[in-house]
Amino acid sequence: MSTDRLAEPRAIDPSIAFGAAALDPRQEHQPTGMEPLLGGVLKDKAVWVDESVCIGCRYCSHVCASTFLIEPDYGRSRAIRQDGDSSERIQEAIDTCPVDCIHWVDYEELPGLQRRLAQRKLQPLGHPSPPSVRRNRPRSPGGQQP
């Protein structure tokens, strides 16, 4: 056996750590504006389908079956999963949309967009709509309009 392995290890001077050049904390990480948390370029986006513009062509659901679904009651597309397909694949679905109803939006905008969409009255596509109430002005007994 070697006697070197049995010998005590050399003592390391702990003051070496204090002799190293100190890093300036202000220069260690300067925000570039590209950080996701700061709302920069790398910030994640959500997919939004404006159902009031959608014509129900189904191109998007053919390209990204895990992200888009044709809503059965109205026959329009809806984003059901934000992480269903890759961003490149979702962009391809956006590019195939003939009426440009699919958009990248900030996650913070989604609740407002959903509220606005809920306020709109959508007509079903491809389904007969129920008859609407007809509003006529009452006629006078003589048959003439007042």
Specify the pTM.
Answer: 0.56
Per-residue pLDDT tens over the stretch 35-48: 555 555 555 788 99
DSSP string of 78-92?
EE--TTSS-HHHHHH
Give dist(CA 143, CA 146) in Å, integer: 9
Residue tagged 């006529």 (tokens): 136
- Tell which CATH architecture fits domain 46-119: 2-Layer Sandwich (3.30)
d(CA 43, CA 108): 11
Q: How confident is the model at residue 101 (pLDDT cuts 50, 70, 90)?
A: very high
What burial class does residue 102 get, using C-beta atoms within 10 Å of its C-beta: 0-12 exposed, 13-18 middle, 19+ buried? buried
H-helix or E-strand spanning residue 63: helix 59-63
Residue for token digits 């890759």?
Answer: 86
Q: Is the pLDDT of residue 23 over 60?
A: no
Domain ranges of the chain: 46-119
